[in-house]
Amino acid sequence: MNASTERTGAPLNTASPARTRSTGDFARVNALLARGRTLATPVLRAAVDRLAPPMDTVAAYHFGWIDAEGRPSDADGGKAVRPALALVSAEAAGAPPETGVPGAVAVELVHNFSLLHDDLMDGDEQRRHRDTVWKVHGPAQAILVGDALFALAGELLLELGTVDAGRATRRLTSATRKLIDGQAQDISYEGRVHVSVAECLEMEGNKTGALLACATSIGAVLGGADDRTADALEAYGFHLGLSFQAVDDLLGVWGDPESTGKQTWSDLRQRKKSLPVVAALAAGGTAAGRLGELMAADVKKSQREFEDFDEAEFAARAALIEEAGGRDATTAIAREQHHKALEALDGIDMPDPVREELVALADFVVVRQK
Ligand SMILES: CC(C)=CCC/C(C)=C/CC/C(C)=C/COP(=O)(O)OP(=O)(O)O
């Protein structure tokens, strides 16, 4: 994919920390994402090959290596942001990027486990421009393959058999538990009328921040970093994760399906209490009041009734969210968390080119359109 600056979801914060400045170097981002895919994919494919049929085929479909009929394909397998972060973090610890590969693959496996289950829980029919796994292969396969990817992640790390692999595995299991906590919080919020911005940020820190924090810290640990450096990179990854999720929330309401590969209004269809929604409701005023009334009625409806809404109903909610300031508030949060991520890098000594790579990846996360 191409990192694009054409239509900026959350423009970059110009007031970067002193030592770690934004550069907007998206050619570098594309090279880092491509390197992550090149180094991680063979290990990912070998891991998937360990699965018993038909799970190996189902997983290969999910990763875009085959189509629904089993023919070879090079469909979109995801941006591979987490592998790229893990490899650069290994470099930040002074090691070659290859050192981070098992961590990069383990985190990508956990990420994809969560997507498989999330699509099923949300009833989402489209991901990465294609039908979701549960839609093509059924719910049982989506659950089993998700579980299997999670198990493979632990297996890959523990097979390294080193002390650092043990440290990395602890970070991965702890992040996975937080990811599950976050998902449980997210789903419980769908049925609530009032969710505060603080609750939403806590949920998003668990659901998304923890795994990006794991990608960076696990790459650093496998690169031989001490705990102080790994923790600083973890802080960078965590804030980057919050920024990433804030942008995801913007795309979940206003994203272009051509870019996102998902349905229009994807978060509104699911009644998600995402940041734009909770920030709009918290703002007060006429638009927030009207939105609150609609959402109070929405939570009483069944998902089927809700799915029967026509597009105008979702458009009306999106307009009220925007009018109440939910879009601007979420953009501000994305920028604030991007700033905090760069601040966390200020405390780490690393070669300038590696610092620039981490900055470029952070910049990309804020302006991405998919
Ligand atoms: C336990 C459980 C079911 C948890 C679900 C947690 C969950 C779905 C969190 C959302 C994280 C997120 C922003 C995914 C998109 O990542 P991306 O844009 O990097 O996706 P890509 O790999 O397609 O590029």
59-82 pLDDT, tens per residue?
A: 999 999 999 999 999 999 999 999
- In the structure encoding, which two tokens stand for residue 363, read together? 């910049």
**Phi and psi, residue 130, nearest 5°:** -135, 165
- List the one residue out of 336, 345, 341, 347 whose CA is nearest residue 362: 341
Confidence of residue 239 (pLDDT cuts 50, 70, 90): very high
10 domain-assigned? no
Q: Hey, what amino acid is at 348?
A: I
Q: How far is the CA of 283 from the centre of ligand 1 (A)?
A: 28
pLDDT of residue 10: 53
For a mutational test of ligand 1's pocket, the pick from 118, 145, 150, i.e. the residue with the most ligand atoms closer than 8 A to its C-beta, is 118
The answer to whether the CB of 339 falls within 8 A of the CB of 316 is no
Residue type, 207: K
CATH number of the domain residue 79 falls in: 1.10.600.10
Q: b/e for 86-123, b at 16 or more Cβ within 10 A?
A: bbbbbbbbbbebebbbbbbbbbbbbbbbbbbbbbbebe
Q: Is the pLDDT of residue 19 over 80?
A: no
Please give the distance, rounded to the nearest whole angstrom, from the Cα atom of residue 165 to the centre of ligand 1. Answer: 24
How far apart CA 329 and CA 276 sit, in angstroms, is: 7
Q: What are phi and psi of 202, to 5 degrees?
A: -65, -45
How many domains is the chain built from? 1
pLDDT of residue 62: 98
Atom of ligand 1 nearest to the CA of 128: 23
Share of the chain above pLDDT 90, in %: 86
Contact 124, 132 (CB under 8 A): yes
Q: Return the DSSP state at 98.
A: G
Q: How far apart are CA 6 and CA 138, in angstroms?
A: 38
C-beta of 229 in contact with ligand 1 (< 6 A): no
- Domain assignment present for residue 3? The answer is no
**Cα–Cα distance between 121 and 340 in angstroms, integer?**
32
The gap between the terminal CA atoms of the chain, to the nearest Å, is: 9
Has residue 200 been placed in a domain?
yes
What is the distance in A from the centroid of ligand 1 to the CA of 35?
21
Whether 27 maps to a domain, the answer reads yes
Q: How confident is the model over 138-162, as pLDDT tens digits?
A: 999 999 999 999 999 999 999 999 9
Q: How far is 62 from 45, CA to CA, in rounded Å?
A: 12
Predicted pLDDT of residue 309:
86
CA of residue 111 to ligand 1 center, whole Å: 6
Task: Check: CB of residue 77 under 8 Å from CB of residue 63.
Answer: yes
| Residue 226, domain member (yes or no) | yes
| Spacing of C-alpha 112 from chain mean position | 10
Tell me the per-residue pLDDT of 168-181, one tens digit each, with 9 for 90 and over.
Answer: 999 999 999 999 99
Query: Which range is least confidently modeled, 11-25, 98-112, 174-188, 269-283?
Result: 11-25
Find the 14 Cα to ligand 1 centroid distance in Å.
28
Among 4-8, 140-144, 173-177, 267-271, where is mean pLDDT lowest? 4-8
Give SS3 for 296.
helix
Q: Is 176 in the pocket of ligand 1 (CB under 6 A)?
A: no
Other residues' Cβ atoms within 10 Å of the Cβ of residue 149: 28
Q: How many other C-beta atoms lie within 10 A of the C-beta of residue 194?
A: 13
Cα separation, 32 vs 358, in Å, equals: 10
Question: Band of the pLDDT at 4, cuts 50, 70, 90?
Answer: very low
CA of 289 to the centre of ligand 1 (A): 31
pLDDT of residue 47: 98
pLDDT for 268 beyond 50:
yes
Q: Domain range holding 328?
A: 22-367
Examine residue 102 and state whether it is found in any structural domain, yes or no: yes
Give the pLDDT confidence score for residue 306 in this predicted structure.
Answer: 80
At 3 the pLDDT is 39
pTM, to two decimals: 0.94
Percentage of the chain modeled with pLDDT above 70: 94
Tokens describing residue 117: 């289950």
In this structure, which residue's CA is closest to atom 1 in ligand 1? 180
273, pLDDT greater than 80: yes
Decide if 15 is inside a domain. Answer: no
Does any ligand 1 atom lie closer than 6 A to the CB of residue 126?
no
From the CA of 184, how far away is ligand 1's center (Å)? 14
Is 7's pLDDT higher than 50? no
pLDDT at 2 over 70: no
Average pLDDT for 333-350:
95
Q: How many CB atoms lie within 10 A of CB 128?
A: 19
pLDDT confidence band for 305 (50 / 70 / 90) = confident
Alpha carbon distance 45, 134 (integer Å): 21
Query: What interface predicted TM-score (ipTM) does this complex get?
Result: 0.99
Q: Which of 127, 208, 275 to mutate to test the pocket of ligand 1 (most atoms within 8 A of CB)?
A: 208
Q: Is residue 172 part of a domain?
A: yes
